[in-house]
């Protein structure tokens, strides 16, 4: 059945438009189950649009998208965990960490948390080393603490696909290393597929099994050493100026 689909995400001839603006054009790719995929590309390349399409937040102008073997309208959203950028958190909203985690279980905000839900939330928070944060208001959390709570929120529903929007932005180096450890730990235990937007080519190179290089069109897709090639980076980030130099330095650092 569909649950045993070979690919976590299958995209065929996908085009997404915002009015007249083409955000993504003619994208086709297949993400194998259990892969750790990094999406890289310059600002405005359509990275967020791609994950929003996979999450069902944006409707494609044309093309086909299957997630975990299902068309988006038939997919049970519990099978996908979404970790948004923690900077989007509305800190004026009164919320406790355990409520945020339980919202991932219920797909609704909890008025009162049942004992069973609390146990599951605590287990998920423990897994990310944040059990001590359970009863504390999220408005006072640091970036690293918030990131852990959002990860617990995604993990609590035991998703087969975890989608992360720039998860390392705004957290320190140790926090970042910790986050990759948690993600890789979850993947090892569950066999889940991870899909993350990042601006950090080093992180993509070291942690991802596959890299998508995007600039409105699909420029490269494959293992990092192939996708993060000079040709792909130059095509995505431009042939002139600072981006060009940075791309060259990165590639030479890896291959020379």
Partner 1 sequence: MFEAWHLPFMQRALLAGLIMALLSGYYGPFMVQRGLSFLGSGLAHAAFGGVALGLLLGGEPLWVAVPFTAAVALGITWVRERTRISGDTAVGIFFAVSMALGIVFLSLKREYTAEAFTYLFGSILAVTATDIWVSLGLLLLTLLTLPLWGRWAYATFDRELAQADRVPVLFDDYLLAFLVALVVVVAMKLVGLLLVAAFLVIPAAAARQWSRTFAGMMVGAVLVGVFSVVFGLQISLQFDIPSGATIVLLQALVFTAAALIWRRA
Determine which residue in the list 15, 30, 103, 169 makes contact with partner 1, applying CB under 8 A.
103
Task: Classify residue 203 as left (phi > 0), alpha (psi -120 to 50) or beta.
Answer: alpha
Residue 20 or 90 having the CB closest to partner 1? 90
Determine which residue in the list 61, 95, 131, 243 makes contact with partner 1, applying CB under 8 A.
95
Residue 16 interacts with partner 1 (CB under 8 A): yes or no: no
Residue 228 interacts with partner 1 (CB under 8 A): yes or no: no
Rounded distance, CA 211 to CA 141, Å?
Answer: 31
Sheet architecture: strand order including 217-222: 80-83, 161-165, 193-197, 36-40, 210-215, 217-222
- Angle at the Cα of 130 (from 126 to 134), degrees rounded to 5? 95
Determine which residue in the list 89, 130, 182, 195 makes contact with partner 1, applying CB under 8 A.
89
Determine which residue in the list 50, 53, 99, 224 makes contact with partner 1, applying CB under 8 A.
99
Q: How many CB atoms lie within 10 A of CB 126?
A: 13
Rounded distance, CA 171 to CA 174, Å?
Answer: 8
Using CA atoms, how far residue 212 sits from 19, 184, 222, in Å, is 25, 19, 7
Residue 34 or 137 having the CB closest to partner 1? 137
Determine which residue in the list 11, 14, 96, 213 makes contact with partner 1, applying CB under 8 A.
96
Structure tokens at 119: 């146990």
Mark residues 30-59: x for contact with partner 1 by CB under 8 A, - for none.
Answer: -------------------------xxx--
CB of 55 vs partner 1, minimal distance in Å: 5
Quick check: 230 and 239 in contact, CB under 8 A?
no
Residue 18 interacts with partner 1 (CB under 8 A): yes or no: no
Residue 93 interacts with partner 1 (CB under 8 A): yes or no: yes
CB of 70 vs partner 1, minimal distance in Å: 13
Quick check: 168 and 200 in contact, CB under 8 A?
yes
Q: What are phi and psi of 64, to 5 degrees?
A: -125, 135
Footprint (CB under 8 A) of partner 1, residues 104-133: 106-112
Residue 166 interacts with partner 1 (CB under 8 A): yes or no: no
Determine which residue in the list 21, 94, 239, 256 makes contact with partner 1, applying CB under 8 A.
94
Residues that bind partner 1 (CB under 8 A): 55-57, 77, 80, 82, 84, 88-90, 92-96, 99, 103, 106-112, 137
């Amino acid at each position: 059945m569909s649950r045993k689909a070979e690919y976590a995400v299958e995209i065929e001839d996908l085009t997404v438009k915002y009015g007249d603006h083409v955000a993504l054009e003619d994208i086709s790719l297949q993400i194998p189950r259990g892969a750790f995929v990094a999406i890289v590309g310059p600002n405005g390349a359509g990275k967020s649009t791609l994950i929003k399409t996979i999450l069902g937040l944006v409707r494609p102008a044309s093309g086909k998208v299957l997630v975990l073997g299902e068309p988006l309208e038939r997919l049970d959203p519990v099978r996908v965990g979404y970790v948004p950028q923690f900077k989007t958190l509305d800190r004026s909203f009164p919320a406790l960490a355990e409520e945020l985690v339980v919202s991932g279980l219920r797909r609704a905000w909890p008025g009162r948390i049942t004992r069973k839900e609390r146990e599951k939330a605590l287990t998920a928070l423990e897994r990310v080393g944040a059990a001590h944060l359970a009863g504390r208001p999220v408005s006072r959390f640091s970036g690293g603490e918030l990131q852990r709570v959002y990860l617990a929120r995604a993990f609590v529903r035991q998703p087969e696909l975890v989608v992360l929007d720039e998860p390392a932005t705004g957290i320190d180096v140790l926090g970042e290393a910790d986050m990759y450890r948690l993600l890789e730990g979850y993947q090892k235990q569950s066999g889940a597929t991870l899909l993350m937007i990042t601006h950090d080519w080093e992180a993509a190179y070291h942690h991802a099994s596959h890299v998508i290089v995007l600039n409105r069109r699909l420029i490269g897709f494959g293992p990092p050493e192939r996708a993060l090639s000079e040709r792909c980076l130059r095509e995505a980030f431009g042939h002139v100026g600072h981006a060009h130099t940075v791309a060259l330095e990165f590639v030479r650092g890896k291959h020379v």
